[in-house]
Amino acid sequence: MTTIYAPNAAMEAAATKIAQAFTAGSGQRVALADGVTAFGWSTGLPRGLHSVVAHGVTESMSVPFRPYTPTGDPAPVAERAAKPILVASTGVTDHPLVKIPGLYEGTTEEFLYSAGAALAVYQILVSQILKGIDELVIDAITASAPVPTVAAASVAEAILTGQANVMANGGTPSFAVLNPADYVDLITDTAGGAGYLNFTDVDEGPQMAFAGLAICVSADQPAGDVLVGDGAAVMIVEHVASPVLIADPTYKLATNEVALAAEWFGVAGVVAPGALALTTTSLTADAPQVG
pLDDT on residue 98? 93
User: Mean pLDDT of all residues in the chain?
Assistant: 81
φ/ψ (deg, to 5) at 9: -65, -35
pLDDT on residue 81? 79
For residue 230, pLDDT over 90 is answered with yes
pLDDT on residue 132? 94
∠ CA 118-220-53 to the nearest 5 degrees? Answer: 70
Domain map (residue ranges) of the chain? 9-71+89-281
pTM: 0.81
Nearest by Cα to 290 from 183, 207, 176: 183
Per-residue confidence at 1, pLDDT binned at 50, 70, 90? very low
Per-residue confidence at 204, pLDDT binned at 50, 70, 90? low
What is the rounded CA–CA span in Å between residue 206 and residue 187? 7
For residue 143, pLDDT over 90 is answered with no
Spatial CB neighbours of 130, under 8 Å, sequence gap ≥ 6: 42, 45, 46, 48, 50
pLDDT on residue 209? 81
Architecture of domain 9-71+89-281: 2-Layer Sandwich (3.30)
Mean local confidence (pLDDT), 209-220: 88
Residues constituting the chain = 291
pLDDT on residue 68? 64
